[in-house]
DNA sequence: TCGCACCGTTAACCTTTTATTAATTTTTTA
DNA sequence: TAAAAAATTAATAAAAGGTTAACGGTGCGA
């Protein structure tokens, strides 16, 4: 797990970072909230953000608001101010949890775990699945009726997801296609597969054509 | 922390070294800048370099320039000359900080800490990234829709950053361009790429034109 | 063996995409 | 300021992709 932190108290940031590292949580602290802002825009691999609201000379809630404009990253806010307005406004602006300062690092760790667990969504199973031994491809849990050539072409594409495959490569690979057949053959086969998948001709979902190259499968 | 130092005043070097050691900073001084140069080429475990510009019989700025050719190590320059030209030129050549002599060791320590902390920040990933196997170029983490010719031109430019590339070279290199097409073709393609990148026409950020030559990509 | 169904292949035709050229405007340089 | 270079726009011809129908070879069962 990797989390971002916006905290101007470097010593505190250091301590927390050290502690969390022991539990497999990698912390990246940003002293300057504006730098943090642009970093968060780019980096997509953070699992959460710990935001200190009591930043000097600026409103931490402002930062929170700005981040929520482009990201739904889980955010834990903390504040040294004892009044509750920070908490209320913060949660209203889209923070996911609140921790009053000072707090136990252990507490922070627990909240982080909780928040990211909540966020983790179950990986949905793919629409297209190959059953090699049966020589079947299932589409949305139902077997697709395919001719041998169609089966081989689709299999090859599925086994190389997101990679544009040249027509030539398909001709070469598939047993049921003769190497010296016209590349147009592939087009016809693809057209038929698309039809069986119920693709929208204008806007295919699974098999995209890559101009000048061939086709690619996107899961 | 371990830092290199290029300083011909051995006594001063000694004093600084003694002082910094108390704060856990290990100093390695090189009297001879040329020896330093080759040492820095090899050793990769320095966290910073302290470079004295007022070296006898040679230009410290020359050394700075040479180091920047192969390393992006944080460099603090210092000078006994009171005029500001050293500072300005030094920072322009890629130094990270400047300290006028004489200075307090404490000051040096603070700058070192600051500079290495600043450096620890996550290297921001480039806006434009080529995913060769996918035949895609991503711009700010999103795939850019490009025609084959556009893709090849942009790829070539990205793969030769900061180098002005002649139109002819592009025509020659790109599969989807005919060698005997007019060089104007390139201009049109560049224009379209710029448009897709949302470049400011007056002030392009990524693809600059080099008058009389062609274009260059700056990361 | 005949006929039939299956399926890879090709041909023909239509649609979409795009490299290229030409024409025009804007910017830069000498 | 004039000339050269680059940017932009629009138009077009060629290429690539999509689709459909028909052909022909293979194998299987009657």
Asked if the Cβ of residue A193 lies within 7 A of any atom of strand C, the reply is no
Domain boundaries, position A43: 2-119
ipTM of the complex as predicted: 0.58
Residues B91-111 pLDDT 10s: 777 788 888 888 888 888 888
Give the domain CATH number at B80: 3.40.50.2300
- The beta-carbon neighbor of B148 closest among A39, A163, A211 is A211
Give the domain CATH number at B206: 1.10.10.10
Write down the pLDDT at residue A121: 61
Q: Do A139 and A180 fall within a single domain?
A: yes
Q: Do A139 and A191 fall within a single domain?
A: yes
Asked if the Cβ of residue A213 lies within 7 A of any atom of strand D, the reply is yes
Tell me what percent of the residues of chain B surpass a pLDDT of 90: 38
Total of domains in chain B: 2
Q: What is the 3-state secondary structure (H, E, C) of chain A?
A: CEEEEECCCHHHHHHHHHHHHCCCCEEEEECCHHHHHHHHHHCCCCCEEEEECCCCCCCHHHHHHHHHCCCCCCEEEEECCCCCHHHHHHHHCCCCEEEECCCCHHHHHHHHHHHHHHHCCCCCCCCEEEECCCCEEEECCEECCCCHHHHHHHHHHHHCCCCCEEHHHHHHHCCCCCCCCCCHHHHHHHHHHHHHHCCCCCCCCCEEEECCCEEEECC
Q: Does B142 touch chain A (CB under 8 A)?
A: no
Q: Which residue of B has its CA nearest to A214?
A: B135
Q: Do B62 and B111 fall within a single domain?
A: yes
Q: Does A164 touch chain B (CB under 8 A)?
A: yes
B122·A28 Cβ contact <8 A: yes
Q: Do B13 and B47 fall within a single domain?
A: yes
Residues B22-56 pLDDT 10s: 888 889 999 888 888 888 887 777 889 999 887 76
Q: Does A35 touch chain B (CB under 8 A)?
A: yes
Residue B83, pLDDT above cutoff 80: no
Residues B153-199 pLDDT 10s: 999 999 999 989 999 999 999 999 998 899 999 999 999 999 999 99
* Residue matched to tokens 């080529």: B130
Write down the pLDDT at residue B122: 47
A105/B84 Cα distance (integer angstroms): 47
Confidence (pTM): 0.56
Asked if the Cβ of residue A184 lies within 7 A of any atom of strand D, the reply is yes
Distance from CA of B208 to the nearest CA of A (A): 23
B122·A211 Cβ contact <8 A: no
Q: Does A218 touch chain B (CB under 8 A)?
A: no
């Amino acid at each position: 797990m990797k989390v971002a932190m916006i905290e101007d108290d470097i010593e505190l940031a250091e301590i927390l970072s050290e502690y969390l590292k022991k539990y497999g949580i990698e912390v990246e602290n940003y002293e300057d909230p504006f730098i943090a802002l642009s970093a968060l825009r780019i980096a997509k691999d953070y699992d959460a953000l710990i935001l200190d609201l009591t930043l000097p000379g600026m409103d931490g809630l402002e930062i929170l608001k700005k981040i929520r404009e482009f990201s739904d990253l889980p955010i834990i806010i903390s504040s040294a101010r004892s009044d509750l307005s920070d908490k209320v406004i913060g949660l209203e602006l889209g923070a996911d949890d609140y921790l009053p300062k000072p707090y136990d690092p252990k507490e922070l760790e627990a909240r982080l775990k909780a928040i990211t667990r909540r966020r983790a969504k179950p990986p949905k199973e793919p629409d297209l699945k190959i059953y090699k031994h049966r020589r079947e491809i299932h589409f949305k849990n139902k077997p697709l009726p395919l001719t041998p050539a169609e089966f081989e072409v689709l299999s090859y594409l599925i086994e190389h997801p997101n990679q544009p495959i040249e027509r030539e490569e398909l001709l070469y690979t598939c047993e049921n296609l003769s190497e010296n057949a016209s590349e147009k053959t592939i087009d016809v086969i693809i057209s038929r597969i698309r039809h069986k998948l119920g693709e929208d001709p204008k806007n295919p979902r699974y098999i995209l054509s890559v101009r000048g190259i061939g086709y690619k499968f996107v899961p």
